[in-house]
Amino acid sequence: MSLAFRSRAHDDDVQDLRDVMTRMAVRMTFAKGEEIYGQDEDADFVYCVTRGAVRTARVMSDGRRQVGGFYYPYEVFGLDAGHVHRFFAEALSDCEILVLKRSALRADLGQAQFERVLWAATQRELARAQDHVMILGRKSACEKVASFLAELAGRSDAKSVEMPMSRQDMADYLGLTIETVSRMLTQLQKSAVVEFAGLRSFRICNTDAMARLAE
């Protein structure tokens, strides 16, 4: 089985999942900051962003927060590991989400494809988490912020990249404080690696320097 073939099949699964969700799922809207699902809740649903953005996070008993990831239109979430949510999900901005019961998905796709599709989605989540581990474990503050911007830019096709999350969200994703994130953004701009157009929009000026920092 060639790599190309497998990738193709993988993409098909993702597409199938989106198709089913578009067809069968309930369309819900959430206001900025609203909870979509809670930590330790049963993971009975699958979610897909159609408009806006979502963050997943966990908090420790003393309030320290770790953001697990951000999700944008067309991305599937709610699969964090098994039958109980280990993170909670919140609307980053006002947003629209497709919500589908897992059992309904299974009924429509059949057991086999259901498992294949969710396995593929779980693998993407795992890849994401592993990249996150790399960023958190062995990178400097500047590299963390650069990696984050590079990832955002990678997901966007436009020249100008929109940043829907606050500095606090970025900090809690990168294991930093808002002050440090702010300083690093300023520094990256001063050294002409990126250029900001307002607080939440940027574009990469020096691709090489960016790639070097983000590894």
Determine the Cα angle at 130 with ends 126 and 132, to 5°. 115
**Residue of 78, 116, 165, 194 interacting with a second copy (CB under 8 A):** 116
Instruction: For residues 183 and 179, give the distance between their C-alpha atoms in angstroms, rounded to a whole number.
Output: 6
**Sole residue written with tokens 């969710």:** 118
Eight-state DSSP code of residue 39: T
Residue by residue, what is the 3-state secondary structure of 126-161?
Answer: HHHHHHHHHHHHHCCHHHHHHHHHHHHHHHCCCCCE
Of 159-188, which residues contact a second copy (CB under 8 A)? Answer: 172-175
Residue number with CB closer to a second copy (58 or 203)? 58
Closer residue to DNA, CB minimum distance, 122 or 180: 180
203 binds DNA (CB under 7 A): no
Nearer to a second copy, 124 or 203 (CB): 124
CA dihedral over 131, 134, 139, 141, signed as positive or negative: positive
Which of 92, 105, 167, 214 contacts DNA by CB under 7 A?
167
Per CB under 7 A, 66 contacts DNA = no
What's the rounded Cα separation, in Å, for the pair 170 and 8? 33
By CB under 7 A, tell whether 181 contacts DNA.
yes
168's contact among a second copy, DNA, none, with CB below 5 to 8 A by partner kind, is DNA
Using CB under 7 A as the binding rule, whether residue 50 contacts DNA is answered as no
Give dist(CA 114, CA 124) in Å, integer: 16
Interface with a second copy, residue 15, by CB under 8 A: no
Quick one: 101 or 183, whose CB is closer to DNA? 183
Structure token digits, residue 103:
């059992």
- Interface contacts to a second copy, rule CB under 8 A: 1, 3, 6-7, 10, 42, 58, 60-61, 64-66, 68, 80-84, 86-87, 103, 111-112, 115-116, 118-119, 122-127, 129-130, 132-134, 136-138, 172-175, 215
